[in-house]
A and B are shown apart, each in its own frame.
Chain A
Amino acid sequence: MPATEKELAETIRRISGVDTRKCMKCGKCSGTCPAFGEMDIHPHKFVSMVEKGEIDELMQSKSLWTCLSCFACVERCPRNVEPARLIEAVRLAVIRRQGENYLKADQIPELLDEKLPQQAITSAFRKYSK
């Protein structure tokens, strides 16, 4: 049986390790985000929607694939909320649905960029075939 939106929100919070209640809604994440213009749902709103459990809409959002995983929002958040981790977790929730992970293991070596941080590489691969 597919998970309800509420269960999904719980899963997102658990796998991201993010406590969305710590957010004080200052908007520094959105103020800092270099991909802001490419996003339909902006980082601060993303956090607020996870908090409210509106995951279905987030799973449809363009932001999942335009987030650069640069972690500027994580770095500058004064409350340690880590919005990029939430985006990553929702991205995973999409990819983990059956048949949605299009990237094959043997494609990986040619795509590696050693200058990127580890987690950014991983999330870039997850976005790759979208």
Chain B
Amino acid sequence: MSSLHKIGVFVCWCGSNIAATVDVAAVAEAMRAEPNVVYATDYQYMCSEGGQSRIREAIKEYGLTGVVICSCSPRMHEATFRKAAQSAGLNPYMVEIANIREHCSWIHKDRMDATAKAIVLARTALAKLNLNQPLTAGESNVVKRALVIGGGIAGIQSALDIAEAGYEVDIVEKTPTIGGRMAQLDKTFPTLDCAACILTPKMVDAAQNEKITLYTYSEMESVSGFVGNFTAKIRKKARHVNEDLCTGCGLCQEKCPSRKAKNEFNMGLNTRTAIYIPFAQAIPNVPVIDTEQCIHFKTGKCGLCQMNCSAKAIDFEQQDEIIERQYGAIVVATGFRPISLERFDEFGYSQNPDVVTSLEFERIMNAAGPTKGQLVRPSDGKHPHCIVFVQCVGSRDTSGCGKPYCSKICCMYTAKHAMLVREKYPDVEVHVFYIDVRTPGKNFDEFYRRAVEQYDVDYIKGMVGKVSSHGDKLQVQGSDLIADKQIIIDADMVVLAAAIEPDPEVRKIATMLTASIDTNNFLTEAHPKLRPVESPTAGVFLSGVCQGPKDIPETVAQASAAAAKVIGLLAKDKLKRNPCVAHSDEMLCNGCSACEKVCPYGAISYMDKEFRVPGPKRTEIRRIAVVNEAVCQGCGACTVTCPSGAMDLKGFSTKQIMAEVDAICR
């Protein structure tokens, strides 16, 4: 190999993280004997200022052309070491990391074996470094506009904060109004202020903010591009009501004769008309026609809404509209829904209307809900005298019927429901079956204790085994573990704290954004502790329950954090691009298009180019692949697809990877 290389090797102890299992001095010693290595040392914390200055000094003193750092994962500190090398005049892409922590010391016990493996990993990094070329990162522009997907409290908060910093923001919301789940809630814990009272002013703020554009009743069609330069297509579904003309008088709703559709906003507890505004404070205050229910769309007759609309806003001919826009950053705030309880027959949810979910109960308790806030049984409208709450229905469930995680919000909202019932109706007996009561959070445990101590809510440690109908009563059979008894309660209503899951739409969105998602459909954060609001996909940020179960205070905090990250990105005029991108050797390319088909970013196109050839023709036109370096993300899909070996990845060339394999097998 090139004898021009002068390479320094730096072995980090990482305190005892590495040094307890790997003989770091032996690794340095072994590396010193390798060809091209002119300097090798070990140090307690390579990432510290002391460690970094050792790297900088060695680069200058020995005239190093490349550096191998044996330390933690490159995900942790590659950027740190590249910066240090650059400040000493070395090209940052002449730094290679041998991961001897996660890949070695943390997973091995035997010191001899771990040391031997660390040496192999160091040699592997050296073998690659010997073939490294200095790379220079290009620059790209940043579009100063953000897209927020989801118009619940998370999306609204993110958008307001981004707009506050002076940037344009678009909110895309699939339902006819912004507000999300929070709009459905009655009171909010732990202070019991009414959800609408604190949410609707924010909705109005979002609507009136001149920097914010709302696309309600709209869905994401596609996203392409990359950080700073996303192109999104938004499908603005036909409302069949002209938003500019409609005055929101609601007369159409009153006249509509089709009244059988399940009211989604009230969790199906009552019905709504075919032309409807989801709730009184909806934003925009413009109805939408449910074409599956509308008599005009089904039979061509009726048209009562159109006849009665003095603003002439009803437009049966309206079509979906596709809006295409550029964005610098995207915030995902797609939220959640309660899980389906069809696999929990033991609670009789599908058989008995008086067995309800907590979100349904929330609507029953809400003054604007189907019962106008009167606590009555859905089956017969009678006032209940005994209510049983069951927690952890489908949460912490590894049997396959539910979700393995804790849904986090149920303990608190159940305490809230129990307390509100006892406050408004002291005659109602309230029992709560719990497995554990989890109330970490400011004033949270105090809140739960108030339910027990002040409102006499009966908390029973145990789980309900089955709920069955006996006359007009619900017989609840469960265990009281403290008393070691099986108890039976004759209840009038049963409220199930159903687990929550990410809105299923998020899968489609994640695929569009190439943002990673876990087995429970929660979006993955770039680092669980240190980068909690960023997706590993650059330029994509996470807000609210799409990332993990959260209550409202946490959602709002995360939404603002995501906004801060977006603002930080949009404040930049230029972004440094990743120089490790694909490029095609035009002399080898046979123009087969295989790479173009696999590229997930649409970075590869084809062109016809004139080549000089031997023989009388002198030149010929050939079709060759061209990579748009601004769009390429360096995933390498094209390099493994290319049948002629023309496509290669800068910084991760096939030759370099083969050299690494050879070094391991040496």
Residues of A within 8 A of B479 (CB): 27-31, 36, 42, 44
Q: Which of A22, A24, A33 contacts B465 (CB 8 A)?
A: A33
Residues of B within 8 A of A37 (CB): 486
A33 with B486, Cβ < 8 A, contacts A24-B396, A26-B392, A26-B435 known: yes
B481 at the binding interface (Cβ < 8 Å): yes
B152 at the binding interface (Cβ < 8 Å): no
CB nearest to A43 among chain B residues = B479
B interface size (C-beta, 8 A): 23
A17 at the binding interface (Cβ < 8 Å): no
Pair B486/A78 contact, Cβ less than 8 Å: no
CB nearest to B466 among chain A residues = A32
Complex Cα spacing A103 to B309, Å: 84
With both chains docked as a complex, state the minimum distance between the C-beta of A74 and any C-beta of chain B, in angstroms. Answer: 10
Pair A78/B396 contact, Cβ less than 8 Å: yes
Residues of B within 8 A of A79 (CB): 396-399
Among A24, A28, A80, chain B packs the most CB atoms within 10 A around the CB of: A28
Residues of B within 8 A of A49 (CB): none
CB nearest to B478 among chain A residues = A31
Q: Which of B173-181, B247-255, B456-464 lies at the interface with chain A? A: B456-464
CB nearest to A75 among chain B residues = B346
Residues of B within 8 A of A124 (CB): none
Complex Cα spacing A37 to B488, Å: 12
Pair B465/A78 contact, Cβ less than 8 Å: no
List residues of A (33-77) whose CB comes within 8 Å of B's CBs: 33, 36-37, 42, 44-45, 72, 76-77
Complex Cα spacing A79 to B180, Å: 32
Pair B477/A30 contact, Cβ less than 8 Å: no
A25 at the binding interface (Cβ < 8 Å): yes
Complex Cα spacing A102 to B435, Å: 42
B401 at the binding interface (Cβ < 8 Å): yes
Pair B465/A76 contact, Cβ less than 8 Å: yes
List residues of A (94-109) whose CB comes within 8 Å of B's CBs: none
B210 at the binding interface (Cβ < 8 Å): no
Pair A78/B401 contact, Cβ less than 8 Å: yes
A25 with B399, Cβ < 8 A, contacts A30-B462, A30-B486, A32-B465 known: no
Pair B486/A36 contact, Cβ less than 8 Å: yes
A30 with B396, Cβ < 8 A, contacts A24-B435, A25-B435 known: no
Complex Cα spacing A76 to B465, Å: 7
Complex Cα spacing A87 to B516, Å: 43
A interface size (C-beta, 8 A): 22
B402 at the binding interface (Cβ < 8 Å): yes
Complex Cα spacing A80 to B479, Å: 18
Pair A31/B464 contact, Cβ less than 8 Å: yes
- For B385-401 the 0/1 string (1 means CB < 8 A from A) is 00000001000111111
B518 at the binding interface (Cβ < 8 Å): no
B317 at the binding interface (Cβ < 8 Å): no
Pair A32/B477 contact, Cβ less than 8 Å: yes
Q: Which of B398, B477, B478 contacts A78 (CB 8 A)?
A: B398
With both chains docked as a complex, state the minimum distance between the C-beta of B501 and any C-beta of chain A, in angstroms. Answer: 16
Among A25, A26, A37, A72, chain B packs the most CB atoms within 10 A around the CB of: A26
Residues of B within 8 A of A77 (CB): 399
Residues of B within 8 A of A28 (CB): 463-465, 479
With both chains docked as a complex, state the minimum distance between the C-beta of A44 and any C-beta of chain B, in angstroms. Answer: 6
A27 with B398, Cβ < 8 A, contacts A33-B486, A42-B484 known: no
Complex Cα spacing A37 to B597, Å: 67
Pair B399/A44 contact, Cβ less than 8 Å: no
With both chains docked as a complex, state the minimum distance between the C-beta of A64 and any C-beta of chain B, in angstroms. Answer: 18
List residues of A (75-95) whose CB comes within 8 Å of B's CBs: 76-80
Pair A78/B462 contact, Cβ less than 8 Å: no
Residues of A within 8 A of B464 (CB): 28, 31
List residues of B (461-481) whose CB comes within 8 Å of A's CBs: 461-466, 477-481
Complex Cα spacing A22 to B465, Å: 19
User: What are 28 A-B interface contacts by the 8 Å CB criterion?
Assistant: A24-B435, A26-B435, A26-B463, A27-B435, A27-B462, A27-B480, A28-B463, A28-B465, A28-B479, A29-B479, A30-B479, A30-B481, A31-B463, A31-B465, A32-B465, A33-B465, A36-B486, A44-B479, A76-B466, A77-B399, A78-B392, A78-B397, A78-B401, A78-B402, A79-B398, A79-B399, A80-B398, A80-B399
9 further A-B contacts with Cβ under 8 Å, apart from A29-B479, A33-B465, A78-B397, are A27-B480, A30-B486, A31-B463, A31-B477, A42-B486, A77-B399, A79-B398, A79-B399, A80-B399
Top 5 A-B residue pairs of the complex, sorted by shortest distance between their CB atoms: A32-B465, A31-B465, A28-B463, A31-B479, A30-B479
